[in-house]
Structure 1
């Protein structure tokens, strides 16, 4: 199969339309819902190009439990729309996915532990922890906008 990334837009759109039309068919449902499936990756890239931002973000949100980073664009969008309560809900879904292998720390709250310790300790490689730091910044922004200053201050702890 040729990669969707080198196909002309017309062919990409045909593939996207076909996958979308058959999304609920059992043959496709498993692959399109599984973030580790090549078809899911292709579908999400095509969706980003051809679907509305709302549909794309809804599909990302549905896969947060499999891939915690998928929560970040959803949270960014909610914060931009000033939907702070809903952003806290997605932040918690994202934290739950991030810490799913650490049930004793889940649900995580900034009042109880440092996130980087909960996730697994130190790493000094450049760029590490950027996504986790962004998640904490989103948390701070949401609680600050909701007037929960103490929670916002607690969220500064990484």
Structure 2
């Protein structure tokens, strides 16, 4: 009986070893599943890709030349506007003008816009001319935002901040 158990043990062991050897030497890739995954990914990326539109032309105006052949450029000095905050409102200084404005009423904002537009026209300035804002350290953000919005509403877009 012991002999039959040993023989059975050796045959089971031999079958296991035989299976391990045959399975390791017969390792194969499932190429069908791999190609299915690759094509699914390809379809996904093609379907979800957003292509950039073609770029159009940028309109450009080149400067005209004078008789000597040099380009005529006129540099316009920026208008410097000083902004400061007070308890009653905002102080705006530009040119020889100093305006104290209450920033809570829309009528006061309209008056600032009208005064500034009149000053711009008397100075023969256009909305393309540069405007520099010199802000005090006490200036409230709300006052700066309202003044900036007034200037932008007038069509003045070339607005920069004067740095120390």
When normalised by structure 1's length, the TM-score is: 0.26
The structure richer in helix per residue is 1
When normalised by structure 2's length, the TM-score is: 0.25
The structure richer in strand per residue is 2
